[in-house]
Amino acid sequence: MIQNKIVIHYQDGRLMKGITIDFFPNKDIFHLTPPDASAGTIPMDVYVSDLKAIFFVKQFDGNSRYDDIKEFDPAKNVIGRKLKVTFKDGELMVGITNAYDPNRPGFFMTPADPKSNIERCFVVTKATKDVSSI
């Protein structure tokens, strides 16, 4: 099974890090195991409806002082739809998607910044204030 390193951001501001093996965008619930959990630890239930976003990360400890670039490199060709997402809490994310539909519970997005610690993100639609094409 593929283990995904994730950082989940709740709509109420909480943040949790861990590993999941069962996140699917069409499911309402998945499970999270903390990165330092001992063998046999029972994963916790996570309800997608409570979340702002799920960040699939390269490392749990990214550089907190690094601010992702919010624009695309004009010298590089991108495949997909360029989006700017403003979350209800004011956070701005710029990236590419292949499947945004405002009527779905969420969508995957890849950050515009290739140096980002975020490999991809599942944005929960109801946690957004604005989603617009660039």
pLDDT at residue 65, rounded to an integer:
86
pLDDT tens readout for residues 9-39:
999 999 999 999 999 999 999 999 999 999 8
Q: How many helices (H) and strands (E) does the chain have?
A: 0, 10
pLDDT for 114: 92
pLDDT given for residue 122 in this prediction: 98
| Rounded Cα distance, 130 and 47, in Å | 22
Q: What pLDDT sits at residue 64?
A: 79
Q: What is the pLDDT, as a whole number, of residue 53?
A: 98
Instruction: Round to whole Å and give the CA distance between 81 and 67.
Output: 22
Q: Which residues of the chain have pLDDT under 50?
A: none
